[in-house]
Amino acid sequence: MSGTTDPREGTTSARTPRGRNSIDTRLIDGKDYARRLTEEVRQEVAALKERAGVTPGLAVVLVGNNPASEVYVRSKIAHTEGVGMRSVAHVLPGSTTEDELLALLATLNADPSVHGILVQLPLPRGIDAARITGAIAPEKDVDGLGEVNVGRTTLGLPGGLVPCTPLGCLLLLRAELGSLAGLHAVVVGKSNLVGRPMAQLLLQEDCTVTVCHVATPDVGAFASQADILVVATGQKGLVRRDWIKPGATVIDVGITRVATGDGKTRLMGDVVFEEAMGRAGRLTPVPGGVGPMTIACLLRNTLTTARRQIEGADAAA
């Protein structure tokens, strides 16, 4: 996006008290970064409407009645409309066939009022998620999961759309650390949603990158060498204190809802928060760290696709 402000300005953080062998851990306030990025998108959407007389449109497709997916979709729609863009939800029954879903995507691809398309994952059994994401027109693939955009991200080519969560992580790292060149980054998790694209983005920042996964022996030995540790496994409490290099920047992408024993639930990350405090130099909390940036980057990607379709391929991202 053009005219991006420095997100480090005015950021609030929480810090641990200093003690013997304790590091003053800075909590990365993802909510604050996301708020300012969202405000930038809101202003640029208004400017685009004034210049071109067109409202950017996002189509969100939900298949089935997964409760978590329903919550995510409602949130995405509310945030999209909150910045002045148009959002259209297509809620399909769990019995929807792959061919029926492909037909809907073909219609949305051809609709000039739809500038971005998002299919909420996971999809019901019997539907090939890779085929579905690959059927979204590359210029409307706001999740950046189709083959064309994955290829552009992997090769570091311009014009690609980057998946929202790793993009949000990268923006946080740049804002907190400045240049990432020469730092050793360890990514724990190799999913197509986070781990793989995150590793590619860090390589493009001239980091030395190690990727660990379920078959990696002694993941902790690799993690403890990291200047930047990005964890995206969905295994709550996986990362303990001795996995963290003193002073490292830790980006916790994991999010798991657990019962608290009193009939309530709370969210936990992949990192044991209490153990990371006083060990990490910087740390994203769960919630309030990466999650808000994921939504903000979805808005950013949708604006980018709209500008390119309305104003041409050279429109600034």
Supply the residues annotated as catalytic: 76, 120, 143
What is the chain written as a DSSP string?
Answer: -TT---TTTT----BPPP-TT---PEEP-HHHHHHHHHHHHHHHHHHHHHHH----EEEEEEES--HHHHHHHHHHHHHHHHTT-EEEEEEE-TT--HHHHHHHHHHHHH-TT--EEEEPSSPPTTS-HHHHHHHS-GGGBTT--SHHHHHHHHHT-TT----HHHHHHHHHHHHHHS--TT-EEEEE---TTTHHHHHHHHHHTT-EEEEE-TT-TTHHHHHTT-SEEEE-S--TT-B-GGGS-TT-EEEE---EEEE-SSS-EEEE-SB-HHHHTTT-SEE--TTTSHHHHHHHHHHHHHHHHHHHHHH-TTS--
